[in-house]
Amino acid sequence: MSKDNTESSKVKSEKKKPEPVATSDTIYKQTVDHEESEAVVRNGEDDLNMYMELCSKLRSHILKLKADTNEAPPVLDQLKREASLSFVMLKKLNRLEKYRLKNARDTLQAKKSKVDSFNLQLQNLRYEIYHLKKEVVKCLQFKSKDEDIDLVDEESFFKDAPEEIARPEITKSDPHQLKLSRLEWELKQRKELADQCNQVERENESVAGNINKKRGQLDNLAPLLKQLLSVSKPLIENLSYPENHSGRAQYKLTHLLPEPLYCLFVQTDAYRLAFCPNIEVKIKGKEDDAEQVNKMLNEAKTSVDSDSDTEEAAGNTRESGTSSSKHRHHHHHHSKSSLPSQVALKPSDSTEEKRNKLCLTHPLSVELVIQSKGTNVASMTLTFSYLYNLHVVAVKVSKTGIASSESAGSNHLDAELLAELFPEDSRKEEGEAVSPNLMNHYQLKQVGLTWDSAKLGHPYPWAQRMAGLTFPLATTQTPSVSVSQTSVPRVVKRLVKRFKSAIELSGLLVQLEKCQLLGSHQCILTAWQSLTWSQYQSQLTMGLISPTSSHSLTWSQLGLSTQSPSPVYKAVLTRGSAKCTAYVVLHYDYPAIAPVLNIQIELNKVIRHPANDDGVRDMQKEVNFHWQDLISDNTQSQSPLRSQLECLASCFDIYLECYSCFDIYLECLGVKEFPRKKSFIKTVRGRTRALPYKCSSVGKSDAFYTQR
């Protein structure tokens, strides 16, 4: 019972709670909420029509009120009330429209915010994709140091490596552990090889010491052997030594050779017998003429010695006879007797006679014949002659069996075949050869002559060293055997190498003259011709080409010399209406020093060269400095000139195809004179708008080009 009473009392208390009193704020809020919900529900077009009707009704009421009529006041009051109600209704419609406009703006703003959020998310996703792509490219392009190490193959590794390094139970199933084990095995092998190399170097040093010791002993034997040879000469003649003995055929001529040529012949023939059977050493000349000249030189030397003795005797009578005077007498005697054997020029001789005497050569000369290997035998003959009045050795060269054409028969393969064999050989004055013997300058100048290489030969410094001559002259006239022994192997190797290079170059020039190029190019080689140095300099003077326009290097830094003009060739590549002209400057030491190419392009009747076109400048730089990138592992023996021309053809095609992409007018017409055949990713790149001259995937059909 008590429980029921409690529940009934709760119900009564709830019924007795007073209702909340409505305030002005709550009424206003309820009104505003009602109008906002009503604005959403109501139709805007109906409100517009109602608005127009109320406006016209209100306008009519106002006109009636303003009109001067005799209507009763109740009617006027009724009109005023209706006008006020219309005005109130207009205000309500205005509020509804404001609510509706605010609601539309809020909805629009919400949609805009949502679109902006989606756009920002899209940008973030794009940036993440771009970043991930860059990271993927970096990962793909990453090359570790160990990738450049040439490791043994896996079969040899498991066969030769010890068990603790090979670990086949792990490495055969784990490529990473296999790589580490192979690297460890490579390191161990290299350490062993390094120890062996050090041991071999120590043995080489020991052997070199023994060789130097024995060489010194042989040098000491040379004067004794020479004296023995001169003493035994009468005995050999009386015994009639057989003529068919080894070396007997030229024995008499050998003894008639002047000392420099004798030293050159003996050392070169000894080197031939020891290491170089494909060369031949001969003595050319008439024995009778040689005997007469040697007799004349001996008489001239005897007269000089007698005059010297007379002067010394007269000087001794005037001197007090002290030891110091004896010392001066002894030194004076040696300085006189050490002068070269030569024919004195008499004051009574005419200028022409003095010139002829000064340029006399010994009747005997030494010929060095170098022959090539293979089916097509070619030979190069070097003739060494001795000018006894100038005391210098000159050399002339001739060749046989080398392919010839208009280009291949140029001076580079004929008269200048031995030019700049060594760096010290390039010394010239005003285009004329300079003798290593500085006395020759004054001797020739006295009779009004300069060195005539065509008549006398070339006085190369290496020829003097082969003959044992050193300048300035030593205190004795005898050639140095040690200088000749050191120089002959070095010079002969360089001569053989130069001759081999000349044969290869001549064949290449013949192919180029026939306009033959390797590789798949859209342009073709239409002309190849030889130019003189003066013709090339005229192009430089006109400003059409510049040897330093792309790399800011001097001729000497490029390995070229302006004192000894280098061979120049002109190559013309064409594709459609475009023409590329390349001036090829070859070095005498080709292929050790690569050629230098100067490029100009004629396109749309406009001459483009490195000074006015960055694309041509980069092309010239690519051809002169990065041509080796086109040589793959399978074409290591390809000549530099051919590689540079192939690089030039590729760059010329790329230049024209990129230029065709720039021509908007032709692009709109759908007409391209130079359609794109090369594969490259970007036409230009960077502020300099560099073209994609760098070739990737060399030697493959799918090669593509990128910018450097």
Q: For residue range 240-298, list pLDDT tens digits in order.
A: 554 444 455 566 688 889 999 999 999 998 899 888 888 899 999 888 888 888 888 88
Please check whether residues 202 and 282 belong to one and the same domain. no
Q: Which DSSP helix (H) or strand (E) runs through 704? A: strand 704-706
What backbone phi and psi angles, to 5 degrees, belong to 647?
A: -65, -40
Lowest mean per-residue pLDDT among 226-235, 357-366, 559-568, 636-645: 559-568
Q: Is residue 483 part of a domain?
A: yes
Contact 680, 705 (CB under 8 A): yes
Q: How many CB atoms lie within 10 A of CB 454?
A: 8
Characterize the bridge pairing of strands 704-706 and 679-680: parallel
Q: Which segment of 385-389, 463-467, 570-574, 702-706 scores lowest on mean pLDDT? A: 702-706
* Domain termination residue (choose one: 467, 500, 533): 500
Give the mean model confidence (pLDDT) for residues 326-339: 38
Predicted pLDDT at 462: 92
- Per-residue confidence at 432, pLDDT binned at 50, 70, 90? low
Mean pLDDT of 373-377: 71
Res 549 pLDDT > 60: no
Q: Is residue 13 part of a domain?
A: no
pLDDT-based confidence at residue 550 (cuts at 50, 70, 90):
very low
Residues in CB range of 421: below 8 A, 6 or more apart: 460, 462, 491, 494, 495, 498, 589
Q: Which domain holds residue 662?
A: 516-706
Same domain, 193 and 93: no
Q: What are phi and psi of 16, to 5 degrees?
A: -80, -5
Residue 556 lies in a domain: yes
Please provide residue 435's backbone torsions phi and psi, each rounded to the nearest 5 degrees: -75, 140
Average pLDDT over residues 158-173: 88
What pLDDT score does 327 carry? 39
Q: Beta strands of 264-356 (E only): which ranges? A: 279-284
| 232, 262: one domain | no
pLDDT tens by residue, 309-319: 555 555 554 44
Which pLDDT score is estimated for 365?
93
* In the predicted structure, residue 557 carries a pLDDT above the cut 50: no
The widest CA-to-CA distance across the chain, in whole angstroms, is 183
Instruction: Count structural domains, the chain.
Output: 4
Q: Is the peptide bond before 277 cis (omega within 30 degrees of 0)?
A: no
Cα–Cα dist 507/1, whole Å: 133
Q: Please count the residues of the chain.
A: 708
Q: What tokens does 230 get?
A: 């001169």
Residues 60 and 86 in one domain: yes
Residue 125 confidence (pLDDT): 95
- The distance of Cα 309 from the centroid of its chain, to the nearest Å, equals 65
Rounded average pLDDT over 120-147: 88
Distances (CA, A) of 99 to 30, 49, 105, 206, 584: 15, 18, 10, 109, 86
Task: Assign 690 a pLDDT band (cuts: 50, 70, 90).
Answer: confident
Clarify whether residues 305 and 429 are in a common domain: yes
Average pLDDT, integer, range 84-100: 83
d(CA 361, CA 391): 10
Asked, for residue 283, whether it belongs to a domain, the answer is: yes
Quick one: pLDDT at residue 325? 39
**Both 289 and 235 in a single domain?**
no
pLDDT tens profile 625-683: 888 877 655 554 578 888 899 889 989 988 988 877 766 544 554 446 788 878 787 88
> In the structure, what pLDDT confidence band is assigned to residue 543 with cuts at 50, 70 and 90?
low
Instruction: Quote the percentage of the chain above a pLDDT of 90.
Output: 18
Given this model, what pLDDT does residue 579 score? 92
* Average pLDDT across the chain, whole number: 78
| The pLDDT value given to residue 19 | 58
Per-residue pLDDT, 246:
43
Q: Is the pLDDT of residue 374 over 80?
A: no
Tokens of 54: 């109320």
The yes-or-no verdict on residue 561 having pLDDT over 60 is no
**Are residue 206 and residue 305 in the same domain, yes or no?**
no
Q: Can you spell out the DSSP letters for 653-691?
A: HHHHHHHHHH-HHHHHHT--SS---SEES-S-BTTTTB-
Residue 499 or 313, more confident = 499
* Alpha-carbon distance values, 448 to 154, 360, 404, 430 (Å): 77, 16, 38, 16
Of 125-129, 380-384, 446-450, give the lowest mean pLDDT range: 446-450
In a domain, 237, yes or no: yes
Give the pairing of strands 568-575 and 606-608: unpaired
Domain limit, last residue, from 110, 138, 166: 138
Run of H or E residues at 487: helix 481-513
Residues 650 and 551 in one domain: yes
- Note whether residue 505 is domain-resident: no
Residue 600, pLDDT above cutoff 80 = yes
Q: Cβ contacts of residue 535 below 8 Å, gap of 6+?
A: 568
Instruction: Using the predicted structure, report yes or no on whether residue 226 has a pLDDT greater than 90.
Output: no
Whether 6 maps to a domain, the answer reads no
Whole-Å CA distances, 633 to 453, 476, 628: 43, 55, 11
Rounded alpha-carbon distances, angstroms, from residue 143 to 147, 148, 367, 632, 695: 7, 9, 56, 19, 19
User: Are 331 and 226 in the same domain?
Assistant: no
Residue 385 pairs with which residues in a beta bridge? 394
112 has pLDDT over 60: yes
pLDDT at 522 over 70: yes
Domain boundary, last residue among 500, 529, 551: 500
Helix (H, G, I), strand (E, B) or coil at 432: strand
Q: Are residues 128 and 165 in the same domain?
A: no
**What residue spans of 146-244 are helical by DSSP H?**
154-160, 163-166, 168-171, 175-238
With a pLDDT cut of 70, the percent of the chain lying above it is 75
Buried b (16+ CB within 10 A) or exposed e, 683-700: beeeeeebbbbbbeeeee
Same domain, 127 and 86: yes
Q: 431 pLDDT band (50/70/90 cuts)?
A: low
| The pLDDT of residue 5 is above 80 | no
* Mean pLDDT (whole number) for 329-347: 47
Residue 18 maps to a domain: no
Q: For tokens 């064409």, what's the residue?
A: 574
Q: Are 533 and 664 members of one domain? A: yes
